[in-house]
Amino acid sequence: MWYPLCPKTERPVGVDMEQVIGELILRVKFSSLTQICKMNSTGIGPFEVGQLTVLIIGVQNLSSSKPWSSFIKGCLVLPGQRELVQRTPVVKRSSSLEWAHQLLFSRVTAHELHDASLVLGLWEHAPFSVTDRLLGTATLHAGEGLSWQPLQQTPNVWHNVSLPLRANVNNRKP
């Protein structure tokens, strides 16, 4: 049998290649909405409350060619253990996973965003089963890939992001 060869894609340094099952392609922006006064550890100061918008473009270079129905579930973990959760609609059985769907995380301050983590999971949707299956996760946080600083310095501007999608060895319920 002959198999078509694909070009190699560059992977971020420090990522275990055996765990990477594909790439999650995103566009991210922080929209500054209003200013409020909020108590923090240094006293009272103005903070801009805004909205983090994550546009899920799709998944590329997926190691499995099996078509399935799937969705992306995103969890923005903010300081103080505050979590904001969003989910895309299910993409019906397709070999190319493309969403073009936005996840909107509202009431986020630029100060909170500095120490936030965004965890995105690719889930296989099981319409006639009780549980969906987690296929892989991608994480965006300060110090890895795109830091939050460009989003804060240039609000209302889209930033392109490609995150390694790491395989999940456990099946979990969403």
73 Rama sector, left if φ>0, alpha if ψ -120 to 50, beta otherwise: beta
- What does the pLDDT read at residue 40? 54
pTM score of the predicted model: 0.76
- What does the pLDDT read at residue 174? 42
- When mean pLDDT is compared across 13-22, 35-44, 86-95, the lowest value belongs to 35-44
Written as one letter, the residue type at 156 is: N
Distances (CA, A) of 82 to 60, 85, 98: 31, 10, 29
Mean pLDDT of 24-33: 89
- When mean pLDDT is compared across 37-41, 51-55, 59-63, 77-81, the lowest value belongs to 37-41
- What does the pLDDT read at residue 173? 41
Q: What are the tens digits of pLDDT across the range 108-132?
A: 888 888 888 999 999 988 877 678 8
Q: Is the dihedral of CA 143, 137, 101, 116 positive or negative?
A: negative
pLDDT surpassing 90 at residue 56:
yes
Residue with the larger pLDDT of the pair 61 and 22? 22
**For the chain, what is the radius of gyration of the CA atoms?**
18
Mean pLDDT of 58-82: 83
Distances (CA, A) of 144 to 51, 56, 68, 129, 131: 21, 19, 30, 36, 31
Written as one letter, the residue type at 168 is: N
Give the best-scoring range by mean pLDDT among 17-21, 131-135, 144-148: 131-135
- In 41-90, the DSSP E strands lie at 43-60, 68-78, 82-87
3-state DSSP call for residue 110?
A: helix
- Cβ neighbours, 10 Å, residue 104: 12
